[in-house]
Amino acid sequence: MPSVLVTGASRGIGRGLVERFAARGWQVIATARDPKAIAARDGVVGYPLDVGDPASIARLAAVLAGRPLDVLLNNAGIYGPRDVRLGAIDYEAFRAVLETNTLGPVRVTEALLPNLRAGARKTVVTVSSIMGSIARTQSPGALIYRTSKAAVNMAMRSIATELGGEGFTVVVVHPGWVRTDMGGPNATLDVGTSVEHLVRLVERLRPTDNGRFFDHDGSELPW
């Protein structure tokens, strides 16, 4: 059975992804800042991981050393301040969002590269957002979050070009607008629907998809 490591598995989309992958028979490594928050079930093992903490990432890589991994699913993310206005940007908060949303997925990918190289699927999926699409940005707002997701899009596209020759599939995905703590109660999708689409998408990914930006339904999004 293929294996997947999910970051940010304590709640929201990450928790849903763990449940869906496990239900589909995948071997799931669920990671969270507080591993006690990971729902226990067959086929799931939990480990602590704070994607904003390089020491935590190094500890996870050491624990998993020598173990092949098919798919890394970078899901952990934060929104940061909701009300961002020019003239009053909170740069400490900006830095924290970049650490989690941009540097985090890059650091985790880098740390787990030996595991991914030893895996059969060699796949890295990062949960980004349509809000990171430069082409789709036509109105003000969410400067910090948008910037962090546009930056992780570029980082993953860049990694895709570096690893494509080794048969890797590195993509970014938008999960839809999902009813989670981040998405809020008015979002259009429930977690179950979003993760059902995302898991199906991951199962169909091929090396020819390397470097693409997908919506949860598998359609392609503009950068």
Contacting range for ligand NAP; rule: CB under 6 A; set: 50-58, 65-73, 107-115, 158-166: 50-58
Helix or strand holding residue 113 (H, E): helix 113-118
Contacting range for ligand NAP; rule: CB under 6 A; set: 20-28, 32-40, 114-122, 199-207: 32-40
Cα distances from 113 to residues 92, 109, 110, 137, 203, in angstroms, run 30, 6, 5, 32, 20
Helices (H), 24-103: 54-63, 91-98
Binding status of residue 50 toward ligand NAP by CB under 6 A = yes
CB closer to ligand NAP out of 53 and 90: 53
Binding status of residue 60 toward ligand NAP by CB under 6 A = no
79: annotated active-site residue:
no
Binding status of residue 182 toward ligand NAP by CB under 6 A = yes
Binding status of residue 11 toward ligand NAP by CB under 6 A = yes
Considering just the CA atoms, what is the radius of gyration of the chain in Å?
Answer: 16
Q: Of residues 3, 5, 6, 14, which one binds ligand NAP by CB under 6 A?
A: 14
Q: Could you say which of 47, 79, 91, 145 is catalytic? A: 145
CB closer to ligand NAP out of 113 and 173: 173
Burial 30-48 (b: 16+ CB within 10 A, else e): bbbbeeeebeeeeebebbb
155 Rama sector, left if φ>0, alpha if ψ -120 to 50, beta otherwise: alpha
Q: Mind telling me the catalytic residues?
A: 145
